[in-house]
Amino acid sequence: MILRKRIHLIGLSLLLSLFQFTSAWAELKVGAAAPSFTAPAALAGETYNFVLAEALKKGPVVVYFYPKAFTSGCTIEAQLFAQATDKFAELKATVIGVSSDDIETLKKFSQGPCGGKFAVAADLDRKIIKAYDAGMMLMPSMASRISYVVTPDSKILFVHSGMSPDQHVSSTLAALQAWHAKR
């Protein structure tokens, strides 16, 4: 069983790497209204309901979509977001990762690669992925790697789309810093 699971994860990682240049079908545009959502989420292994409207009352929110917990790129991206948690907090920003993984998987992911630093939400029915136009072009049942910065007035401030995980954190931080500088 363990070998079968490893083979499945290796196959999934290879498949995802084949689609590294495949972006979402489309993406929400800067200035568009950000779809509101509530989703089961995990933070440091504990579950709760994440409500975007509540998080926006505290400040901007980075809603980042990723294909699959514990795959190489998604692990790297989660670790980078975890390492930047203090920088996001200085900007009064909340980070929430969203995937179609189940909540039990995300409880483990939130403790592991996320380091208990930020929440990850389960979108099993893919309604959030669809609302944010974040489905992979060739595999719409999976989220593409796309990050949105949403301002407290529920508008899309910034979008970064790309399967490489290494620019999502730096680009969303830069967008938040520029937004704060204009205020």
The catalytic residue among 16, 74, 119, 128 is 74
pLDDT of residue 127: 96
Q: Give pLDDT, residue 137.
A: 84
Domain ranges of the chain: 2-182
- Is CATH 3.40.30.10 correct for 2-182? yes
Report the residue count for the chain. 183
Record the pTM: 0.85
DSSP calls for 67-134 = S-TTSHHHHHHHHHHHHTHHHHHHTT-EEEEEES--HHHHHHHHHTTTTTSSEEEE-TT-HHHHHTT-
Determine the pLDDT at residue 16: 43
Q: Within 13 Å, how many C-alpha atoms sit on residue 173's CB side? A: 16
Residues 104-126: tens digit of each pLDDT? 999 999 999 999 999 999 999 99
Q: pLDDT 10s per residue in the chain (183 long)? A: 554 544 444 444 444 444 443 344 468 999 999 999 999 999 999 999 999 999 999 999 999 999 999 999 999 999 999 999 999 999 999 999 999 999 999 999 999 999 999 999 999 999 999 999 999 888 877 999 999 999 999 999 999 999 889 899 999 999 999 999 998
Q: How far apart are CA 163 and CA 100, in angstroms?
A: 16
- pLDDT for 1 equals 55
114 is catalytic: no
Query: Number of helices and strands (H, E) in the chain?
Result: 7, 7
